Structure 1
Amino acid sequence: MLSSPRLVYLLKFAGPALILVWLIGYLISDRPAYDNVVRQFRSERDLFIADFLDNEVGGQLDGTSISELCASKTWTPGLMISCDPQSGGFGQVKDAHLNCIRFAIEAGAELVLPRIIKRDDKNIANTRPKNGNGPYIGEFIDYLFDFEHLNQTLSEHCPQLKFYRSMNELWDVPQVQSARKISLQDIGVKLNGSVIEDMGTLPEQIKSYIDRTESPDTRPFPIRFKADVISSAFPTAYGNPELAKSFGRLLRPRKDARVLAGIALYNLHKMYQLNLDPKQGFQHSTFPGLHLRTEADAAPLFPPFGNQVTTLLEFVTNSSTEFAFVATGETEERRRSFSKKAEAVKVTMVYKQDLLLDEPEGRELLEQLTWDQRALVDYEIMLRAGFTVGLSESSFDWNIALRRNAVPGAEGEVSSPTTSSPIQYQDRYSTLFGSSEKGRTLRATVWP
């Protein structure tokens, strides 16, 4: 039997220990409670950035429609699809990668993820710099996108699709080092411009072409077919409407760019006392986001600098705003020029560089990113704007507009402000100026 002093001694330490064990067990079993305790020890800035990263616009991805798509296909082990690397900006590359993934799903094939051609750092208009006399190899997918997110999402919602990060993973499979050619034209798909007219027959057309090219009885396995870059081909209106909202979310910007966007958005929130809540995605009454697409590579495809500036200033003037965030890859000289013109109508223009001025580490990281990688920071900030203004010729802007339109309550037309420029698309949160055929094609084919 324990003596009284020894019993008191044991109880003195056993009591707190039992309470600590109970508390740890409770927190582990109750994740929200654990998170709430941890949050009390984090700064407002760190909490804002963490909430920004954890809460995407549109909420958590519902992959049900992706699962249904993959379950509806007939899969052929050992049949591989790869696609040529794509050049260009975020919107173009995302479109090509999603088209390649969808083509592999329709074929019921394994997939070698396409690479990305990095533009010339010294001349951004050169999107396909020469690679000596050899073929373009390109960067891995995580040059722009979050590979771990793609891997996790496909593994969960499309486990039938076996995919490889690159041909490097197949170095010991000699049968697939060379590839047969395949394209939408080869398989006899009827196109309206670049858009597939009849999606219902596509799987059978792919199978028939492959069987004609390499007889099922004699062809080697595994076998690889290589497609050209596929762009703006799949009509998003075909099939389950939920797929149009979820498929594009397979590809999310790389994490370091998203962290920078979270830092910049927090500083914007403090600078203008916006009362932003990153857990809520975006709120209509926060801040306007403008896309100025006048960089050196834009000249042949987009309206000139003066026209875009006039349109954007006309819009913000009619909107009675005091400031606007501007997404652009323009030079410092051009940014100053736009800001000076905006000052004449009493509107302050804010750029990502401004929002990282007092962030030495963030500013250094931004400078280390390439021109196309910096655009990812703009993209993530624009998604959280109260309303955005862009160009109908821009796949970047269609990704933003249609992603925001997929959020409940965003649908429907609104009365247009008085402007001298035609409006091709408008909902409660986004306006795209223009009237081009390219804009109509992008609207029909972009998975946001």
Structure 2
Amino acid sequence: MSSSRLAQLAKFGIPILLLIWILSYMTSSREAYNTIVKTHFKSEKDKFVYEFLNSDVGGDFDGSGIAEACAQRTWTPGLILSCVPVDGGFGQVKNGHLNCIRFAMEMGAELVLPRIVQRDSKNIIITRPKNGKGPYVGEPLDYLFDYEHLNKTLQRTCPQMKVYRSMDDLWDVPQVSPPKKISLSAVEVHLTNGTVIEDMGKLKEQIKTYIEKAAPAETRRMPIRFDFEATNWAFPTAFDGPAFANNFGRLLRPRKDARLLAAVALYNLQKRYGVVGNPSRDIQNNKFAGIHLRTEADAAGKNGFPDYETQATNLLDFVRDAEARLVFVATGTTEKEKKLFANKAQEFNVTTVYKENLLEEEGLALLNEMTWDQRALVDYEIMLRAVNIAGPVESSFTWNLALERSLVPGASGEVSPVDGLFEHSDKYSTIIGRSARASALRATIWP
């Protein structure tokens, strides 16, 4: 992080981060904790941001399902799993990392936290091929996610799994490099819907059999490392039960500075338009809609994404039917397309806002220091709290939002395909379009 960015973050966030520090280390009762907030942080903005940062949409985290799953596994000291760095946007990377963690659990292995392939902010089709003079090894997990949250939560819910932050932690264990390769195809897993593991009940034995062939026990030297092929949409979330499925995805929370910017942007949205209720989870009282316009360079004409005109028409139809008058637009598209969309929305008496419109000078400077994928985290956190949202079926970003929001009490709707244009529709979220891979996404995304 550059010195200029550190100075901006200090000026912008120290009061709020100090509040977070106090709350993180307090061991007293909830009443005492609330007293400190009210006494020492009297600013309305501070309280709003605090509520935002310390609450989860969909309810409090429940780690009991994860703890039970870890307790039921057999763990092998010295058996280490690393994973090939995952590329793509937030939705793809998040689920890819969760696939890595879940595979380590099934394997009963220690885990080297997966890394992330960074995309070029000016042209996200391009990924960085080099890391200095050596091969590109990817960015650390905290490039997109809150490492401290993940580490503390895993220590509490799955203490059986030893976690290494990076391969640097194994610098003095030469026998773990190079690793042996492992993949779903190598362990002879049968797939359905193209990518989804068909029989989870067999996976543990299939992994065990493969490891024995790759490194027979009588000659195996421990520790030993296996490197797992990058995998996105493989594990059927229903297999582990709702207590696990509804909380496993929360291990990977967007990084703190992105959440802080989202909190401030949402506060400014409230002050400017009076459309936000409780900043924590009470989304039904919020009065703004959210839409995901996905027409960036990597999507244009690829991966089945519709063109700008088709997406804009579908999203404006949604806005009109939802009778929304204020719409937050999550997008990384061009200024030209933003202006086109805003002008068309005005014809329906709809005001559009973007994250850039909702931040003051210091916050905007911090946002501009972020990469394209990091800025998308701010969009995600704001969209989570809209009263209703819509986005294209091809987008894993939209699917993550919709499935996470489906945990909000009262969402009750069709999680399965519904008639007509929509692949998913409930009280709070709509996924527009139909896609052959929708069944795989619905079955494998941990909200």
TM-score over 0.5 for the alignment? yes
Q: Does the 8 Å contact 2:277/2:285 carry over to 1?
A: no
**Residue in structure 1 matched with residue 53 of structure 2 by the alignment:** 53
How far apart are residue 321 of structure 1 and its match? 1.8
Give me the whole-angstrom Cα distance separating, in 2, the residues matched to 1:326 and 1:45: 23
Aligned to 1:324, the other structure's residue is in SS state strand
**Residue in structure 2 matched with residue 437 of structure 1 by the alignment:** 436
Q: Does the 8 Å contact 1:284/1:429 carry over to 2?
A: no
Q: Evaluate the alpha carbon distance shift between residue 252 and residue 34 of structure 1 in structure 2; reply closer, same or farther with a 3 A threshold.
A: closer
Q: Evaluate the alpha carbon distance shift between residue 181 and residue 34 of structure 1 in structure 2; reply closer, same or farther with a 3 A threshold.
A: closer
The alignment status of 1:332 with 2:335, answered yes or no, reads: yes
Q: Evaluate the alpha carbon distance shift between residue 326 and residue 74 of structure 1 in structure 2; reply closer, same or farther with a 3 A threshold.
A: same
Aligned to 2:352, the other structure's residue is in SS state strand
**Residue in structure 2 matched with residue 372 of structure 1 by the alignment:** 373
Give me the whole-angstrom Cα distance separating, in 1, the residues matched to 2:130 and 2:99: 25
The alignment status of 1:99 with 2:96, answered yes or no, reads: no
Task: Look up the equivalent residue of 2:349 and give its one-letter code.
Answer: K
**Residue in structure 1 matched with residue 357 of structure 2 by the alignment:** 354
Larger Rg: 1
My pick for the range that moved more, 253-262 or 226-235, is: 226-235
Task: Look up the equivalent residue of 1:350 and give its one-letter code.
Answer: V
Aligned to 1:88, the other structure's residue is in SS state coil
Give me the whole-angstrom Cα distance separating, in 1, the residues matched to 2:33 and 2:441: 44
How far apart are residue 74 of structure 1 and its match? 0.8
Q: Evaluate the alpha carbon distance shift between residue 403 and residue 369 of structure 1 in structure 2; reply closer, same or farther with a 3 A threshold.
A: same
**Residue in structure 2 matched with residue 125 of structure 1 by the alignment:** 125
Give me the whole-angstrom Cα distance separating, in 2, the residues matched to 1:291 and 1:381: 11
Q: Evaluate the alpha carbon distance shift between residue 131 and residue 74 of structure 1 in structure 2; reply closer, same or farther with a 3 A threshold.
A: same
Aligned to 1:80, the other structure's residue is in SS state strand
**Residue in structure 1 matched with residue 186 of structure 2 by the alignment:** 186
**Residue in structure 2 matched with residue 80 of structure 1 by the alignment:** 80
Question: For residues 266-315 of structure 1, what are the alpha-carbon distances to aligned partners after superposition, in whole Å with 9 as ceiling and x for unaligned?
Answer: 01111111241123342255211000001111111211000000011111
Aligned to 2:413, the other structure's residue is in SS state coil
How far apart are residue 40 of structure 1 and its match? 4.1
Aligned to 1:389, the other structure's residue is in SS state strand
My pick for the range that moved more, 202-211 or 285-294, is: 285-294
Q: Does the 8 Å contact 1:58/1:281 carry over to 2?
A: no
Aligned ranges 1:47-446 → 2 under 5 Å: 47-127=47-127, 129=129, 135-192=135-192, 193-283=194-284, 285-299=286-300, 300-301=302-303, 302-356=305-359, 359-413=360-414, 422-446=421-445
How far apart are residue 38 of structure 1 and its match? 3.5
Aligned to 1:119, the other structure's residue is in SS state coil
Give me the whole-angstrom Cα distance separating, in 1, the residues matched to 2:369 and 2:27: 39
Task: Look up the equivalent residue of 1:399 and give its one-letter code.
Answer: N
How far apart are residue 166 of structure 1 and its match? 0.7
Q: Does the 8 Å contact 1:80/1:225 carry over to 2?
A: yes
- Pairwise CA RMSD of aligned residues? 2.0
Identity %: 57
Give me the whole-angstrom Cα distance separating, in 1, the residues matched to 2:376 and 2:178: 35
Give me the whole-angstrom Cα distance separating, in 2, the residues matched to 1:179 and 1:275: 50
My pick for the range that moved more, 240-249 or 121-130, is: 121-130
Aligned to 1:289, the other structure's residue is in SS state strand
Give me the whole-angstrom Cα distance separating, in 1, the residues matched to 2:286 and 2:165: 41
TM value normalised by structure 2: 0.89
How far apart are residue 132 of structure 1 and its match? 8.6
How far apart are residue 393 of structure 1 and its match? 1.2
Structure 2 unaligned segments of length 5 or more: list them.
Answer: 1-25
Aligned to 1:372, the other structure's residue is in SS state helix
Q: Evaluate the alpha carbon distance shift between residue 28 and residue 223 of structure 1 in structure 2; reply closer, same or farther with a 3 A threshold.
A: closer
